[in-house]
């Protein structure tokens, strides 16, 4: 077997194990990066209308928006859900969501539950004409991107060490043949 034939399976295995997963991680990070924004406008002293906008692909692509009319208040809703702990075991837990109560009923969006106090203060104070609340997903995206780079670096180091080990092994084999040993 020639060196070129021997290199193809090792390169494709390295590609499958390191390059493709890292590329998929970067695509996931780019897709998720962006966020959800709640923009509220005080129409009258007792009526607030809002728009919830979602952004994807590094925040460059509008993933849609939805009108929220006659916002009354924000509340946190708890419900039972299944979660996974750090060891991979599934367990029952209590999950919490931010709910926007409107004149037409409850609305659920990807907003941080910590936003409830900010929204309710805006609704009660009647001092500001607008409110903007954002849930940015950049921290998650950056973490996934850093992990992808670390994975590629690990793969590159592994590939380099394997090549050095093969070179040492080949040198040892050629030295045995030169001394008349097999």
Per residue of the chain (182 residues), what is the pLDDT tens digit?
A: 444 445 455 667 777 777 788 888 888 888 877 888 899 999 888 889 999 888 888 778 888 888 888 999 898 888 888 888 888 888 888 888 888 888 888 888 878 778 888 998 998 888 889 888 888 777 777 888 888 888 878 877 777 777 777 777 777 766 555 555 54
Q: Is there a single domain that holds both residue 81 and residue 148? A: no
Domain with 154 in it: 13-33+139-167
Q: Is there a single domain that holds both residue 75 and residue 148? A: no
- Residue at 3 is within a domain: no
- Residue at 182 is within a domain: no
pTM of whole model > 0.85? no
Q: Is there a single domain that holds both residue 144 and residue 132? A: no
Burial class (CB in 10 A: 0-12, 13-18, 19+), 31: middle
**Distance (Å, rounded) from C-alpha 16 to C-alpha 118?**
47
Q: Is there a single domain that holds both residue 59 and residue 147? A: no
Q: Is there a single domain that holds both residue 86 and residue 158? A: no
């Amino acid at each position: 077997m020639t060196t070129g034939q021997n290199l193809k399976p090792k390169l494709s295995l390295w590609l499958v194990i390191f390059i493709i997963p890292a590329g998929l991680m970067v695509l996931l990070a780019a897709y998720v990066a962006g966020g959800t924004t709640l923009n509220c406008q005080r129409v009258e002293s007792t009526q607030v209308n809002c728009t919830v906008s979602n952004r994807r692909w590094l925040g460059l692509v509008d993933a849609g928006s939805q009108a929220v009319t006659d916002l009354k208040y924000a509340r946190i809703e708890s419900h039972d859900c299944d979660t996974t702990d750090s060891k991979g075991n599934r367990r029952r837990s209590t999950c919490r969501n931010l709910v926007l109560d409107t004149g037409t009923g409850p609305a659920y969006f990807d907003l941080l539950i910590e936003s409830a106090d900010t929204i309710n203060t805006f609704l009660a104070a009647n001092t500001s004409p607008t409110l903007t609340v954002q849930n940015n997903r950049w921290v998650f995206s950056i973490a996934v991107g850093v992990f992808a780079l670390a994975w590629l670096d690990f793969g590159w180091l592994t590939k380099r060490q394997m090549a050095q080990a093969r070179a040492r092994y080949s040198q040892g084999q050629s030295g045995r043949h030169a001394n008349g040993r097999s």
